[in-house]
Structure 1
Amino acid sequence: MTAPSGITIRLAHPHEHAEVGLLTVAGFAAGPYGAATDPDRVALLHDAAGRAEAGELLVAVDDATGELVGTASLLRAGARYSRRALPDEAEVRLLATSQAGRGRGVGAALMESALERARGWGVTALVVDTGPGNLTAQRLYHRLGFERVPERETTHIPGVGVLIVFRFALQPGDGVLVRLVRVEELDRVSELSVSAYAGDFGDLSPTYLASIADVAPRALEHEVWVAEDRATGALLGTVATPRPGSHISPLGRPGELDFRLLAVDPAARGRGLGTLLTCHVIRLARLRGLRRVVLNSGPEMFTAHRLYERLGFVRLPERETFLPDGRRLYAFGLDLPD
């Protein structure tokens, strides 16, 4: 889902840390276990600055008033305040909403933002725990697609009980992870992309090849994802998507996610990487609450066309345009069910 109308999810600013701490304290005091009395727990709830230093401190902001109406902390395994994440997982802690934020989908929007950010880190899963009496949180996690992990429910908190653990898998279990590109990898992604397109479509214009190779500005403005071999660390493929709330091409319309420049290293063909990356794009669209995924494709890209059709995409002739040489630029779309 996207953030509810009138709500923005972003990272907290340093000058807001004290306010976030107070919001966290008040949010948990209004929950099923009441106000915290243990000094260590009280200090944890207040320490928004420490949580920001240890990971990413998310806040939900009411656009009309500027008021902070929710918060959550996203942490890597082993970071300060992380208690549940295993290596290669991320964890959400201290999800809280203010009185003004309740009933507006703020908690779900914060969790969806945490899922997308964790996916960009390249971790395998996002985990979260909650008390057995916090039925509202449990319903939220189930609704978002988290699965309960009873074998990891080993922590007993006095006055609360045994904490319930939920996990959301972010990566397929096939030896490949999908994550955002790193700065030091931009040249490799450029090389991979040019090699893939030039090898398959040798008559591409120098201008188009130059645009394919120009990865750095694309990564700065949009999102460039890579498929990495877990065993070797080699980059095997790439795809580009817009940042939430924007588009990466003229094709995209409100409610749609458009993507570009799907490419697989010629040496890595046959491993299903094109399907993997396209399915990643579809998951992103679902995560953002969008209704359709769209893309353009050149008329000679037959292998890509077969891939898209196999995944359920259909041609959108009414939205197709023409290339400078007169050839039709195909458009494909995949409608996502509610």
Structure 2
Amino acid sequence: MDLTIRQALPEEYAALGEITAQAYLRDGLLDFGESDSYLDELRDVAKRAGAAEVLVAVEGDRLLGGVTFVPAGGPMADIAGPGEAEIRMLAVDHAARGRGAGEALVRACVDRARAVPGCLGVVLSTQRTMHTAHRIYARLGFLRTPERDWNPLPELFDLRLLTYALTL
């Protein structure tokens, strides 16, 4: 596979938003399906690109997936502390899974974190059922950090997110 990782182009935002939303929907990761308010956030790639770096995996002219890289701090950070970058919203089109796009996107985020002055680590949150992603994180040296696990919406439902960290 001739895979390229690069910044998302504005003309790709809608397609990437739909890939991300469909990945979460098809994997059963949204409690309320199409009415889940987080779905709007997943689809709003332009908003993410204005606050962080959105990367895509492409093969030729085919968009395979994307990820949001949040350098230390920034409005898109959920759990990153001082000196940490964060990975958010990793998603690969179902038809393109198993071909290395997800791992390549995570590797690109790690490479970007290493280039950020003062960045000492990379953190991320994931759902319990994202087993394929967990294997990617472990393969790349990320370790579980259960003391950082959290629930983004405790007033609505119990959605405990697992956390991982990689020391650079």
* Deviation (angstroms), 1:278: 0.4
Indicate the residue corresponding to 1:218 in structure 2: 48
* Deviation (angstroms), 1:226: 0.7
Indicate the residue corresponding to 1:265 in structure 2: 93
What secondary structure, in the 3-state scheme, does the structure 2 residue paired with 1:253 have?
coil
Task: Answer 1 or 2: higher relative contact order, Cα 8 Å, separation at least 6.
Answer: 2
* Deviation (angstroms), 1:319: 1.3
C-alpha change, 1:247 and 1:211, in structure 2 (3 Å) is: closer
* Deviation (angstroms), 1:247: 5.7
- Alpha-carbon distance in 1 for matches of 2:29, 2:74: 32
Asked if the contact 1:223–1:240 (Cα under 8 Å) also holds between the matched residues in 2, the reply is yes
Indicate the residue corresponding to 1:313 in structure 2: 142
Alpha-carbon displacement from aligned partner over 1:74-103 (angstroms, at most 9, x marks no partner): xxxxxxxxxxxxxxxxxxxxxxxxxxxxxx
Choose the corresponding residue for 1:248, options 76, 80, 88. Answer: 76
C-alpha change, 1:244 and 1:313, in structure 2 (3 Å) is: closer
* Deviation (angstroms), 1:195: 1.5
Q: What is the identity percentage for the equivalent residue pairs of Structure 1 and Structure 2?
A: 40
- Alpha-carbon distance in 2 for matches of 1:302, 1:219: 27
Asked if the contact 1:248–1:259 (Cα under 8 Å) also holds between the matched residues in 2, the reply is no
- Alpha-carbon distance in 2 for matches of 1:318, 1:334: 15
Query: Which structure 1 residue ranges, 5 or more long, are not aligned?
Result: 1-173
- Alpha-carbon distance in 2 for matches of 1:292, 1:247: 18
Indicate the residue corresponding to 1:237 in structure 2: 65
What secondary structure, in the 3-state scheme, does the structure 2 residue paired with 1:258 have?
strand
One-letter amino acid of the structure 2 residue matched with residue 263 of structure 1? A
One-letter amino acid of the structure 2 residue matched with residue 246 of structure 1? G
- Alpha-carbon distance in 2 for matches of 1:175, 1:327: 37
- Alpha-carbon distance in 1 for matches of 2:58, 2:78: 29
Choose the corresponding residue for 2:107, options 279, 297, 307. Answer: 279
Indicate the residue corresponding to 1:177 in structure 2: 4
Query: Which structure 2 residue ranges, 5 or more long, are not aligned?
Result: none
One-letter amino acid of the structure 2 residue matched with residue 294 of structure 1? V
One-letter amino acid of the structure 1 residue matched with residue 162 of structure 2? Y
- Alpha-carbon distance in 2 for matches of 1:204, 1:217: 23
What secondary structure, in the 3-state scheme, does the structure 1 residue paired with 2:19 have?
helix
- The residue correspondences of 1:127-206 to structure 2 (distance < 5 A) are 174-201=1-28, 203-205=30-32, 206=36
Asked if the contact 1:299–1:327 (Cα under 8 Å) also holds between the matched residues in 2, the reply is no
Greater radius of gyration (CA): 1
One-letter amino acid of the structure 1 residue matched with residue 26 of structure 2? G
State the Cα RMSD in Å. 1.7
